[in-house]
């Protein structure tokens, strides 16, 4: 199926709809959607005008302009058609709408009249002047719009927060992926005792609920109910527990990145395991108001909504960061909220730094992190092997909390900027749609100020389809300039050596080698490459394992 382009589907009533009425109704009626209700002697909302409502000769004679009534009917029909187009859509809750209002007075007036108008207020976000309503008859909403359009802000569908459609898969080379098991923390460069990491920071987990477990210790887990309860018992309801453990677990068999952090569990899924964008927005607002500095949302949808955008703005404006997964559909687009540029969007890699085959890509992707075969917690004290960008996101959320606690004074957004700056380059040199700024490297970020620290790495092997060359990316993750490096490359035809120029801290250099097309075409298994980075004499590398890498270019 072709990718469905993520859309903002609000109905801009103050402009577009009022403009529509101005087009289909006479000029002297163009005083706004509330005109009939406000004008003395006017028809009730949703009803065509009576003869006495027109001025001039027709009013004096009592004649009725049937063409005028027809124009009114046409306008009402077109409004109803617009509502159907925006609300009766796949992937949204049936017979629901999200309504926002321009002023507090308009919002309160709506809440007071909603029931009489045939609209049920399911929930509301007073701070956003937004109501989630249900209706039996869409005509009820049509009539309220006709009578009170001047007060409306926007109208949109309440999309499910799950994956309603699977976009077309991006063409990617087959690969053998390697699981992390219990190796997630060493991969991130976390060594020694990190039990205090995250202290003083609250991470909100907006998910299926977090079950009590030994890995959350005593007094670190609290709950807030936004109408969904605390914890589900369905087959997939261990998801929230798994996610939380990756962020802040403290048990040896389910260890997280920030075991000193506080967890705030806000269940945003219903009994069917799905959520919606209104509920996500409410969860975000609740988490921020409860003091969460880091918010993890391991859910997504291919549609967006103004209410979600408002909630993200609310969080960012109050100093919190939101972390969300890119999606698991091997797609060249991300799910929302990860697709919002204000959100820390996270893709997945395996234990040998390959982009996970399922991980969505996109221009707004910020970073990648472990997301394949990771051991973590589940319901009833179980331990499971977890795959998905849903697991990658909380690892980054935990890293933000860890960076904050170990660098007092850093805000959540500043901590994130450090992590982004000190990430391991992956894939194509520099930032790209598959890896974002790179792969999370917490060890480098934590030790960035150590001038004597040496860590050089073969960051990636990348086949450039445009040039037909294999690119070997070298990165200096040390605390100072490193000179005198050499790179040895071995392929099916032999070995070659290359001089790597001096590299400043964080800098990269690329060695590009043409791929022998004749050898590639006649080799059933493709061309295998091995690279070995050789440091200058006397340099003691803290991560010597990352000085070599292997890959294969498969025949096409």
Catalytic residues, by residue number, are: 207, 239, 390
Phi first, then psi, for residue 169 (nearest 5°) are -75, 140
- Say if residue 136 is exposed, middle or buried (CB neighbours under 10 Å; 0-12, 13-18, 19+): exposed
User: Please, are residues 387 and 184 in contact by the beta-carbon 8 Å criterion?
Assistant: no
Q: CA 25 to CA 19: how far, in whole Å? A: 10
Q: CA 278 to CA 96: how far, in whole Å? A: 11
Q: CA 478 to CA 503: how far, in whole Å? A: 9
* Separation in Å, CA 394 to CA 80, 137, 291, 298, 412: 43, 42, 18, 8, 14
Q: Which two tokens stand for residue 449?
A: 């100020």
Q: CA 376 to CA 239: how far, in whole Å? A: 10
DSSP collapsed to 3 states, 399-462: HHHHHHHHCCCCCHHHHHHHHHHCCECCCCCCCECCCECCECCHHHHHCCCCCCCECEEEEEEE
Q: CA 343 to CA 316: how far, in whole Å? A: 9
Integer distance in angstroms from the first to the last C-alpha of the chain? 24
Question: Would you state the torsion angle of the CA atoms of residues 343, 344, 350, 356, taken in this order, to the nearest 10 degrees?
Answer: 30
Q: Which residues pair with 130 in a beta bridge?
A: 100, 125
Q: Which two tokens stand for residue 405?
A: 């606690």
Q: CA 436 to CA 341: how far, in whole Å? A: 12
User: Please, are residues 274 and 160 in contact by the beta-carbon 8 Å criterion?
Assistant: yes
Residue 217 is given by DSSP the state T
Long-range Cβ contact pairs of 67-71 (< 8 A, separation 24 or more): 68/26, 71/24, 71/25, 71/26
User: Please, are residues 499 and 475 in contact by the beta-carbon 8 Å criterion?
Assistant: no
* Separation in Å, CA 437 to CA 52, 324, 525, 529: 67, 16, 31, 25
H-helix or E-strand spanning residue 511: strand 508-514
């Amino acid at each position: 199926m072709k990718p469905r382009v993520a859309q903002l589907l609000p109905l801009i009533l103050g402009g577009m709809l009022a403009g529509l009425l101005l087009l289909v109704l006479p000029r002297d009626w163009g005083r706004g959607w509330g005109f009939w209700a406000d004008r003395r002697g006017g028809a009730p909302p949703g009803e065509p005008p009576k003869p006495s409502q027109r001025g001039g000769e027709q009013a004096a004679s009592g004649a009725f302009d049937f063409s005028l009534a027809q124009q009114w009917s046409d306008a009402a029909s077109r409004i109803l058609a617009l509502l159907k187009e925006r609300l009766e859509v796949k992937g949204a809750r049936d017979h629901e709408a999200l309504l926002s209002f321009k002023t507090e007075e308009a919002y309160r007036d709506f809440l007071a009249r909603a029931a009489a108008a045939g609209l049920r207020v399911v929930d509301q976000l007073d701070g956003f002047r937004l109501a989630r309503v249900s209706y039996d008859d869409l005509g009820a909403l049509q009539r309220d719009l006709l009578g009170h359009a001047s007060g409306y802000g926007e109208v949109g569908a309440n999309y499910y927060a799950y994956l309603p459609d699977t976009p077309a898969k991006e063409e990617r080379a087959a690969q053998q992926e390697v699981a992390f098991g219990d190796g997630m923390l060493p991969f991130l460069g976390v060594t020694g005792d990190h039990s205090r990491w995250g202290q003083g920071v609250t991470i909100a987990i907006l998910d299926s609920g977090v079950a009590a477990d030994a890995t959350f210790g005593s007094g670190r887990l609290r709950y807030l109910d936004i109408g969904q309860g605390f914890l589900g018992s369905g087959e997939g309801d261990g998801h929230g527990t798994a996610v939380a453990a990756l962020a802040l677990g403290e048990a040896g068999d389910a260890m997280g990145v920030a075991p000193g952090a506080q967890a705030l569990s806000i269940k945003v899924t219903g009994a069917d395991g799905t959520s919606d964008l209104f509920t996500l927005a409410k969860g975000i607002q609740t988490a921020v108001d409860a003091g969460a500095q880091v918010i993890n949302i391991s859910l997504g949808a291919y549609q967006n909504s103004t209410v979600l955008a408002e909630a993200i703005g609310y969080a960012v404006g109050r100093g919190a960061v939101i972390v969300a997964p890119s999606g698991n559909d091997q797609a060249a687009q991300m799910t929302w909220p990860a697709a919002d540029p204000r959100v820390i969007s996270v893709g997945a890699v395996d234990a040998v730094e390959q982009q996970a085959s399922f991980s969505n890509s996109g221009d707004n992707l910020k970073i990648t992190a472990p997301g394949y075969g990771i051991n973590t917690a589940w319901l009833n004290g179980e331990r499971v092997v977890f795959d998905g960008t849903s697991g990658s996101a909380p690892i980054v959320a935990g890293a933000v909390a860890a960076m904050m606690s170990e660098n007092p004074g850093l805000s959540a957004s500043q901590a994130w900027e450090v992590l982004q700056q000190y990430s391991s380059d992956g894939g194509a040199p520099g930032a790209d749609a598959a890896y974002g700024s790179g792969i999370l490297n917490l060890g480098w970020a934590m030790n960035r100020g150590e001038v004597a620290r040496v860590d050089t790495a073969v960051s990636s092997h990348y086949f450039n389809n445009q040039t037909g060359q294999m690119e070997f990316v070298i990165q200096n993750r040390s605390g100072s300039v490193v000179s005198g490096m050499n790179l040895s490359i071995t392929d099916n035809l032999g070995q070659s050596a290359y001089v790597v120029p001096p590299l400043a801290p964080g800098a990269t250099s690329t060695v590009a080698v043409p791929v022998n097309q004749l050898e590639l075409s006649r080799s059933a298994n493709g061309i295998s490459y091995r690279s070995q980075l050789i440091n200058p004499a006397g340099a003691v590398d803290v991560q010597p394992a990352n000085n070599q890498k292997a890959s294969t270019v498969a025949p096409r």
